[in-house]
Structure 1
Amino acid sequence: MVTGGSGFLGQHIVNLLQTKADHVREIRVLDIKPYKNCYGDHDSKVILSTVGCVTDSNIVCNALQGVDTVYHIAGKISYGTFPDITGMHHINVEGTSNLIKACLLNDVKRLIYCSTVDVVIGYDDIIDGNEANTAPPREFLFPGYPETKYKAECLVLKANGSQTKNGSVLQTISLRANVMYGEGDPYYITNGLRNARDSHGTLYQVGDGTALFQPVYVGNTAWAFICADKALAKNSNLGGKFYFIPDDTPQQNTFKFMEPFLEVRGYSLSSIKFPFRLVYYFLFFSELVVKGLSPFIKINLPAESYSIKYINMNLTFSSKKARQEIKFKPIFSPEEAKQRSLQYYKHVAL
């Protein structure tokens, strides 16, 4: 079962379950929209699509009957000046709690949860972060999303070893995904392209260009879930652990990384790099004014101070533990990932 299987990452997981998971005989998708194969090869295995939300106990319980493994990808992301924090808690936390209960009622063997590196990102740089040297910050950089994902991750890891209805045991793992690019991307590069389009073909650079960012090709993130499933089936001692899963995409400044995807659309980076502090504090104080006016009128700013901060921090992580313990090895090289992505971004509707 892939919750959120109709979405960005979910589509790639379903495709790899079709082509590179001989142990899988049937695939199920639970999503708020019907599953449609958008980016993969022809379907060779049975796919059963259930339309519904992870917060609906009856739908989830019925969909999980006979399922061995659940890849829990479904979640809500909300950002902007006024993010939907209540909605994120409902879907990300309460929905995950509901899913765990359904797993126990249906004797599901393994639950692989999609977390995010955002659960350890505050206001300080992270260089070569790993499972031992990073922890959730006292204050998350982003409002709402990281906190709800961390709470859900804690629920999943705590459920490891829980007894199911008929006396078997549920085993769990959490994978902390990096920001992803590639076919189906609705946010990262696609938003950069939209910003360039709206600025007459120019994406304005903020910062001095030295901050290192670590995006990951979505196909490699998808592959990590299959690796985790196989590893957990062989070694129950891996249950209750979390892993960082970056691939071999070169670490570089986010604007430099976006450049070839801009060029394929005829866009470019600005020749001027606007000072980070100037832009950050302008947005920060603008947000204070806008939030002060929110009882009377809600104004969504075109950018957020925390997003500008995010792309001007050094944020890199290590997949060494994942490669050792769950045998994760990226199956798409950086060049192949780039070429696949260029074809997508060249034609994606903005």
Structure 2
Amino acid sequence: MKVITGDIRNTQTVSDAVNGVKCIIHCAALIDTAIFANEAELNSVNVIGTKNLIEAAIAYDVPSFVFVSTIDVLCGSDPIYYGAENTVAIPKHHCFEAYSKSKLAAEEIVIRANGTNLTNGFDFLRTVVLRPTGMYGEYDKYLIPGFLKTAKNSDGCLPRIDNTFIRVQLTYVGNAAWACIKAKQKLESDESIGGEVFFITDDTPIMDPFEFAEPYLKSCGLRLSQRTYPYWLLISMLSIFVFFVKLIRPLFPVPLPPSMNPGALRYITNIYFYNRNKSTLRLDYEPIFDENESQTKSLQYYSNLNLSSN
């Protein structure tokens, strides 16, 4: 295997990487879910970087392109119950506005490129977009580590937030990776999936995210609060705080961590779960890691995390 480390914004690096390949699986992205996210940087990496890869695929006759997007392009204040690709609308306001919009713009580039003539004049580019739900497992730096660090900074106890009914659907990273392989294989044999969007989930239970995090908290010597804190109170306090930060920000720029984004609070206290029938029927995708395997592998990873440096 040849490894090239580089920046997808660098067209020469991209050209070197794709020359001679038959499929591009595009997973690279900048994730910035802070309320004052760096929109220019998000656009530069997620949008321009994707455009560079598409242009390189056309120039170097790469016939297949799999783009790993995110289900966050659909997550707003409204709950999603067993959402399918053709039933869930893009929200007016996303939980993570700048990040989600950058990924949505990248999706549009990829979908528009489907069917484009390659440079050789004979073949066409076929593209698909995968939207995995929030992922956990090896190399996770955001989801479960966010819970772990919050607990560590709260005397070893993760505050639990109550919002009547909370359910989210997460996907083990190994199954998301397998979906990429299945999409690649299917593009080689079935051109009809070109230009399509697919939801990617697995058999991880749909559950309260705080309960989901509890085994990983325990593996790190942390715990979940038995007491619950009302969502309405926390969102009110956080929204007021952010309002005043925005007022003084032109004079005194105040950096806020992603956890201080009201959208993040809405995200983890809402209901989001999806229907993967389309990916099963059209991509022949089925998870290869079951619930127990996914948790075992994830426990091994999270229990060895250095929370001081991640």
What's the TM-score bracket when you normalise by the shorter of the two chains?
A: over 0.9
Output aligned runs, 1:62-141, within 5 Å. 62-141=16-95
Give the superposition deviation at 1:145. 0.6
TM-score (norm 2): 0.96
> Quick one: distance in 2 between partners of 1:117 and 1:176?
5
The SS at the match of 1:296 is: coil
**For 2:120, which of 134, 142, 166 is the aligned residue?**
166
**Letter of the 1:76 counterpart:** L
2:290 equivalent among 323, 333, 341: 333
Structure 2 stretches of 5 or more lacking a match?
Answer: none
What is the CA RMSD across the aligned residues, in angstroms?
1.1
Residue 208 of structure 1 contacts residue 273 of structure 1 at CA under 8 Å; is this kept in 2? no
Distance 2:202 2:95 in 1: 24
- Offset, 1:81: 3.6
CA drift at 1:300? 3.2
- TM-score (ref. length: structure 1): 0.85
What is the one-letter code of the residue matched to 1:225?
A: C
What count of residue pairs does the alignment treat as equivalent?
304
Give, as a single letter, the amino acid of the residue that structure 2 aligns with 1:323: T
**Secondary structure in structure 2 of the residue aligned to 1:50:** coil
Q: What per-residue deviation string (whole Å, max 9, x for no partner) do you get for residues 231-255 of structure 1?
A: 1111001100000011000000000
- From 254, 257, 275, the counterpart of 1:318: 275
Long gaps (5+) in structure 1: 1-46
- Amino acid corresponding to residue 341 of structure 1 in structure 2: S
Work out the CA distance in 1 between the residues paired with 2:252 and 2:166. Answer: 36
Give the Cα separation in 2 of the matches to 1:213 and 1:87: 29
With CA pairs under 8 Å and 6+ residues apart, which has the higher RCO, 1 or 2?
Answer: 2
> Residues 1-350 of structure 1: matches in 2 within 5 Å?
47-167=1-121, 168-208=123-163, 210-301=165-256, 303-350=260-307
Moved over 4 A (4+): none
Distance 1:48 1:252 in 2: 40
SS state at 1:49 partner: coil
> What one-letter code is carried by the residue in structure 1 that aligns with 2:94?
F
Identity %: 35
CA offsets per residue over residues 179-208 of structure 1, 9 Å max, x none?
Answer: 111111101001111111111110001124
Residue 2 of structure 2 aligns to a residue whose secondary structure is strand
Deviation at 1:209, TM superposition (A): 6.2
Does the CA-based 8 Å contact 2:169-2:272 persist in structure 1?
Answer: yes
Distance in 1, matches of 2:256 and 2:19, equals 45
Deviation string, structure 1 residues 54-93 (Cα, Å, up to 9, x no partner): 1111111122110100000011111224211110011111
Name whichever of 309-318 and 139-148 sits farther off. 139-148
Amino acid at match of 1:151: A
For residues 118-154 of structure 1, give each alpha carbon's deviation from its aligned partner in whole angstroms, at most 9, with x where no partner exists.
Answer: 1111210000011110121122221201101011001
Following the alignment from structure 1 to structure 2, what is the Cα–Cα distance between the partners of residues 79 and 251? 23
Q: Is the 8 A contact 1:209 1:253 kept in 2?
A: no
The amino acid that maps onto 1:138 is K
